[in-house]
Structure 1
Amino acid sequence: MELNETYWTDRYKNNQLGWDIGYPSPAIAEFMGQVENKNAKILIPGCGNAYEAAYLWKKGFNNVFLLDFSSIPLQKFSSENPDFPKAQLLNIDFFNVDGKFDFIIEQTFFCALNPDLRSNYAEKMIQLLEPAGRLVGLLFNIPLFEDHPPFGGNQKEYKKLFSKYFEIQKMETAYNSIPERQGNELFIKLKPIN
């Protein structure tokens, strides 16, 4: 199975959106709600229906960039948020993104990638983050599936992977996960090793 643009577009067309909770993740909303710099440049890769982006936009963050392989969620977001700059909607492969960001928000993107790409993911995050930037968000802390997304994992393997590239400022069970994921998510806050 190739996890390409066609795969994800078909998931949207067939309404196979098991990752979509219908509102901003409480853990991410709470963290980003404490960020005072409304000009911070923020990337949300694999943004899907981008509830976190809508939340941030309404809170006055004007430098949010959404990225998705499929154009469907980007078009939907644009129609629901007509004032959001079209230039900040990126319909490209994550590994082809350029730029530097103060925050990158992880919300069900890591688990959607083939696990063989996890080192590439970490390396790309380092390239995209400002030296004082942060990778923040949630990772599943359960096995999940081996042959299709979402792919799971555990804290031990994540620490081994990310400690090569990041100072792990936080990687702990999220206390404010949605009820269906309670106890199965880790909240992460990672700073590039300079």
Structure 2
Amino acid sequence: MSLDTTPHNAAQELVRNLVANDPIQGWDQAWKVGATPWDAGDVQPPLRDLLHCGVLHLPPAGRALIPGCGKGYDAILIATATGLETTAVDISETALKQANDLLNASQLPSSVVVQFENKDFFSLGQSEKEKFDLVFDHTFFVAISPERRKEWGQVMSRLVKPGGYLITLIFPIDPPQDYGPPWFVRPEHYLEALGEGWEKIVDKVPEISLPTHKDREHLVVWKKL
């Protein structure tokens, strides 16, 4: 099979090689060289629409988490739209620097709280302080090895408070492949990883997607029982 060497796919191939060589520092190196095909350069329209449609019933002084936050577009959106104290984590220090630069340039009011932290998602949820009313996963689930998906589900179950929400914007939904990242994904893979204890309250193809995401993503919102 010949390799598609268009710029987008060339970047994906570079990311795969970097991460295969070093699963931790490879991501930071990808940010350093600008090989970030997952970075859409803006907030995700399905998330924006969800936060404004009234489906989520969030506490006035709650907390949100975004794992694998990258440059932080969606973290800033969540904090601004919901008023939740928002923590966004990534293992790439380079990505977090860019996220903080974006945050500073946004000139948000002091009432909007966003913190970017250099942490490993799989180390979270060990204390009551690490409990959240809302968690948003977009291009994080597909970035981890499929062998760790069950562990992902266990960590999510620790992190989300009873009555809290896990928003999964599933992308890219592409033909099956046995290599990654991004790893092959379908909506049912999230259910397999999460197990029992969750209620699905939204399950749909978004009405509005970024042009490169159209017909390649699916929105599922889970409520922790």
Match of 1:73 in 2: 95
Residues in 1 aligned to 2:82 and 2:206: alpha-carbon distance in whole angstroms: 26
Question: Within 5 A, what are the aligned runs for 1:26-37?
Answer: 26-33=45-52, 34=54, 37=59
Q: 1:177 is matched with which residue? A: 209
* Residue 15 (structure 1) shift: 0.5
Identity of aligned residues (%): 24
Q: How much does 1:180 deviate?
A: 1.6
> Cα gap change, 1:162/1:57 in structure 2, threshold over 3 Å: closer, same or farther?
closer
The residue aligned with 2:72 is 50
Matched residue SS, 2:170: strand
Q: Which runs of 5+ in 2 are unaligned?
A: 1-19
Q: Is the 8 A contact 2:51 2:81 kept in 1?
A: no
Instruction: State whether residues 45 and 68 of structure 1, in contact with CA within 8 Å, keep that contact through their aligned partners in structure 2.
Output: yes
**CA RMSD of the aligned region, Å?**
2.5
Instruction: Give secondary structure in 2 for the equivalent of 1:181.
Output: coil
Distance 1:171 1:116 in 2: 25
Q: Secondary structure at the match of 1:130?
A: strand
1:61 equivalenced with 2:83 (yes/no): yes
Match of residue 147 from structure 1 = 179
Contact 1:171/1:188 (<8 A) preserved: yes
Q: Which has the higher contact order (CA 8 A, sep 6+)?
A: 1
Superposed displacement of residue 156, structure 1: 3.6
Query: Is 1:110 paired with 2:110?
Result: no
Match of residue 17 from structure 1:
36
3-state secondary structure, aligned to 2:212: helix
Q: Which amino acid aligns with 1:109?
A: F
Pair 192,52 (structure 1): closer, same or farther in 2 beyond 3 Å: same
Counterpart of 2:121 in structure 1 is 94
Residues 121-152 of structure 1, C-alpha deviation per residue, up to 9 Å, x if partnerless? 11110100010110013113334643221112
How many residues align? The count is 193
CA contact (8 A) 1:42 1:104 kept: yes
Cα deviation, 1:67-95, whole Å, max 9, x if unaligned, reads 00111121122123237899922201101
Superposed, 1:132-171 pairs within 5 Å as: 132-140=163-171, 141-143=173-175, 145-171=177-203
CA spacing shift, 1:100–1:25, aligned 2, 3 Å: same
Report the secondary structure of 1:180's partner residue: coil
